[in-house]
Amino acid sequence: MPTPAGRRDALVDAALRLLETEGPEAVTVRRVAQHYGSSTMVVYSEFGSLGALVDAVVVAGFGALREHLLAVEPSPDPVTDLWLLALAYTGFAEHRPHLYDAMYGASAPGGHRRTGEQLLLGLDTFRAYADYCARAVAAGRLRPAEPLEIALDLWTVVHGRIMLERSGLLGALGSIIRDDPVRTFETLMTGLGDDPARVRASVAAVAGAVG
């Protein structure tokens, strides 16, 4: 028999598989119990509610995102690293769309939509992003500022682009204006204090990289 910790992890894994393979509507106590091979009482005894189970899935999702971002190894150019982070972040959202939506409250697995302090479950990932921003400030590429504030600027832009693309709006705008993520990144970095030519060189250093 699985240990309590192992049982809890297995239930989270079952919910995660349902979410990613069948979508948020599939995440119900009954379906999770079926996939785990038990009665619904096991789910309730471990989590107390479907909402608590969804929160555990979200925590696992942010943990996976954090590891994905930390795989970007620091290089001599911190702005190159910020560009690679943006690519890695976007790649995670593209490859795990149902999980990404659940993490940010854009979907309601099993009818449970996270609100309030539940939305802060990804704070550790946010802080990891800020560590890379601190390096860019220390290197003199960005003007002195609180790294968490810079991370918020970057996160807002990257997340916003992801959601606009997912909605189809960026594609629809293609006949009116050319969408260029490099230009967007350059504009943001320049606004934060970097030189446009240096930003372009930093991006060019990893041209063709994927998340």
User: Would you tell me how many other CB atoms lie within 10 Å of the CB of residue 149?
Assistant: 12
pLDDT tens figures, 168-208: 877 777 667 677 889 999 999 999 999 999 999 999 998 64
What's the mean per-residue pLDDT of the chain?
A: 89
Calculate ∠ Cα 74-137-195, nearest 5°. Answer: 95
Q: What is the dihedral of CA 17, 156, 208, 62, to 10 degrees?
A: -30
Question: What is the full DSSP assignment across 123-146?
Answer: HHHHHHHHHHHHHHHHTTSS-S--
Q: What angle is formed at CA 208 by the lines to CA 72 and CA 140, rounded to 5 degrees? A: 50
Q: In the chain, where are the structural domains located?
A: 57-204
Would you state the structure tokens that stand for residue 2, as one six-digit string?
Answer: 């699985």
**Which residues 6+ apart lie within 8 Å of 146 measured at CB?**
none
d(CA 185, CA 202): 11
The 10s digit of each residue's pLDDT in 65-77 is 999 999 999 999 9
- Decide which of 211 and 32 is more confident: 32
Task: Give the whole-angstrom CA distance, residue 164 versus residue 160.
Answer: 6
Least confident span in 1-15, 48-62, 126-140: 1-15
Does domain 57-204 fall under CATH 2.40.160.40? My reply is: no
Please give the Cα distance from 138 to 197 (Å, whole number): 19
Query: Three-state SS for 39?
Result: coil
pLDDT at 129: 85
Supply the pTM of this predicted model: 0.87
Instruction: Using alpha carbons, list the distances in angstroms from residue 208 to 63, 78, 84, 136.
Output: 26, 18, 11, 22
Long-range contacts of 20-25 (CB under 8 A, 24+ apart): 20/96, 20/98, 20/99, 23/98, 24/98, 24/101, 24/102, 24/107, 24/108, 24/109, 24/110, 25/109, 25/110
